[in-house]
A and B are shown apart, each in its own frame.
Chain A
């Protein structure tokens, strides 16, 4: 362990702003990327399910005429 206290660790030898900015932006970007990516599949499936319902309605409409 390079640091003796949490404050020392957070201070990063005086470069706190730059180091934490870099790490923060990196993991922030990755988090956004991961969240949108994970949501994609269920969005696609929901979209397909909705489309199937629409088609079902259309078919019934045609059938009843």
Chain B
């Protein structure tokens, strides 16, 4: 069932495939984020409770949902890399980590900037904020581990193991943090969540979620390509590329 993956275990094939996919991803990502953001900022109606401050949702929710999805993607790549011994998959995982960390940081920061006008404080130890913070630490751990190995082939494998350990722990951490914050509900702060969002707000949100996902995909592909080149610097095909591009 995984046989189709095997040709792409070859770094050169993986590089070529990524080059082919990249323009599609980036074009779609740019146009979707453009449409979603303009729609969200200019055309979506003002929320009757939160006023215009709710417009942060159009970047906060995409970043928050994609931060988790990117971790899942990283861990799945790492899993493929460990189980089938495919180095390219390890490199993909290593390529996703910094992007995921930035997205998680954005989710945290926009959450704080939204929280200040709504709750009157930049930070609350709310379950979702806390687990997002822990997620950021998990990302930073993977990045730091990757950075501290000199041999990057090993580094990617070690970081992959850590990503898998992290992904097993994420549900446990999430559950425990939720349980903990329900236990300590001292403050009156609650995120007002309306399940029934009018379509005029929902569509730009969905468009931006998709756009963020594609953007993460596009960035991962770019980093993945660079990673492949760096790890295969002694291969003739990489040397040809280097000679064509590097000598100016």
Provide the residues of chain A in CB contact with B219, threshold 8 Å: 33-34, 37
A35 to chain B, nearest CB (A): 11
Interchain CB contact under 8 A, A37 and B222:
yes
Give the residue among A1, A44, A51 with the most B Cβ atoms within 10 A. A44
B31-78 contacts to A, CB under 8 A, are 37, 41-46, 51-53, 55-56, 59-60, 63
Which residues of the partner chain A approach B245 to less than 8 Å between Cβ atoms?
A: 42, 45-46, 49
Q: Which of A9-55 contact B (CB under 8 A)?
A: 9, 12-15, 18-19, 21-23, 25-26, 29-30, 33-34, 37-38, 40-52
Cβ contacts under 8 Å, A43 to chain B: 226
Tally of A interface residues using CB under 8 Å: 34
| Complex-state Cα separation, A46 to B17, whole angstroms | 22
Q: Which residues of B contact A49 (CB under 8 A)?
A: 242-243, 245-247
Q: Across the interface, do B222 and A41 meet the contact criterion of CB distance under 8 Å?
A: yes
Q: A44-B229, A45-B245 are in contact. Are A33 and B102 (CB under 8 A)?
A: yes
Stretch in B80-88, B110-118, B155-163, B169-177 with 4+ CB within 8 Å of A: B110-118
Q: Which residues of chain A are near B55, meaning CB under 8 Å?
A: 12, 19
Pairwise interchain contact B246-A46, C-beta atoms closer than 8 A? yes
**Inter-chain contact A3/B42, CB cutoff 8 Å:** yes
Contact between B52 and A30 (Cβ–Cβ < 8 Å)?
no
Which residue of chain B has its CB nearest to the CB of A34?
B219
Per the bound structure, the CA–CA distance linking A12 and B41 in Å amounts to: 9
Please report the total number of B residues contacting A with Cβ < 8 Å.
43
The answer for the CA separation of A54 and B107 in the assembled complex, in Å, is 45
Contact of A2 among B46, B99, B226, B243 (CB under 8 A): B46
Q: B195-248: which have CB < 8 Å to A?
A: 215, 219, 222-223, 225-226, 229-230, 233, 238-239, 241-243, 245-247
Q: When the two chains form their complex, are residues A26 and B109 in contact, meaning their CB atoms are under 8 A apart?
A: yes
Cβ of B145 under 8 Å from chain A: no
Does B106 sit at the interface, judged by CB under 8 A?
yes
* Chain A residues with CB below 8 A from B110, complex form: 22, 25-26
CB distance from A23 to the nearest CB of B (A): 6
Cα A15 to Cα B117 in complex, Å, equals 8
Q: How far is the CA of A52 from the CA of B246 in the complex (A)?
A: 10
Shortest C-beta distance, A33 to chain B (Å), equals 5
Residue B105 is within 8 A (CB to CB) of chain A in the complex: yes
Q: CB distance A48 to B238 under 8 Å?
A: yes
Q: Which residues of A contact B (CB under 8 A)?
A: 1-3, 9, 12-15, 18-19, 21-23, 25-26, 29-30, 33-34, 37-38, 40-52
- Give 5 nearest A-B pairs by CB, closest first: A49-B246, A13-B52, A15-B53, A48-B242, A40-B226
| A19-B53, A40-B223 known, 15 other contacts, Cβ within 8 Å | A1-B42, A9-B42, A14-B52, A18-B56, A23-B41, A25-B106, A29-B102, A33-B98, A34-B219, A37-B99, A41-B229, A44-B230, A52-B239, A52-B242, A52-B243
